[in-house]
Amino acid sequence: MIKENIEEALNKQVNWEFYSAYLYLSMSAYFESVGLPGFASWMRVQAQEEQVHAMKFYDYIVARGGRVNLIAIEEPPSSWPSPEDVFEETYKHEQKVTGLINALVTLAIKEEDYATRNMLQWFIDEQVEEEESAYKALEKLKLVGNEGSGLYMLDKEFALRVFNPPLSKKG
């Protein structure tokens, strides 16, 4: 059985992961509206990943005998000054998520909840990839700028990103 404070913290993380998906969908919509379908696709893939993350937490809470408590998802922003600003926010957002995961690890260790600590290792590893992906995209944007042929080429590159769901424990 999962401890009440761990369950509460994990439920907050479920909400945060769904907010992340919502944020990236909003970014995707922004990119569609400014004629950058490759950037929009990149963000849709990011949103799908966040939904998987939310469901991993959801399934874990259930597996430990807890109760998932879905709360309202905060409304994300819907416009940005430039593509670079979007990826600047994306990178900062992923850094915040890393901090939230680290806080969950700290709580699990404090509560001597080693099963939760073990489950969170996947998220620690995932956040390294998430931050790297956002950082590399941001750095490319800084190189090409927010307009012109470089942006067009980057849009074509970003369109190639595809969603690869993580392997389940069963598969």
pLDDT in tens, 65-108: 999 999 999 999 999 999 999 999 999 999 999 999 999 999 99
Q: Is residue 163 part of a domain?
A: no
Look at the chain and report how many structural domains it folds into: 1
Share of the chain above pLDDT 70, in %: 98
Could you tell me if residue 145 is inside a domain? yes
- Domain residue limits at 83: 4-158
- Decide if 139 is inside a domain: yes
Place of tokens 């995961």: 101
pLDDT at 49: 96
Q: Is residue 171 part of a domain?
A: no
Q: Please tell me the pTM assigned to this model.
A: 0.93
Averaged confidence pLDDT in the chain: 95
Q: What is the CATH number of the domain that holds 101?
A: 1.20.1260.10
Nearest to 120 by CA among 64, 70, 162: 64
Kindly calculate the radius of gyration of the chain based on its CA atoms and give it in whole angstroms. 17
Tell me whether residue 58 is in a domain: yes
Task: Please report whether residue 53 resides in a domain.
Answer: yes
Instruction: For residues 134-157, give the mean pLDDT.
Output: 94
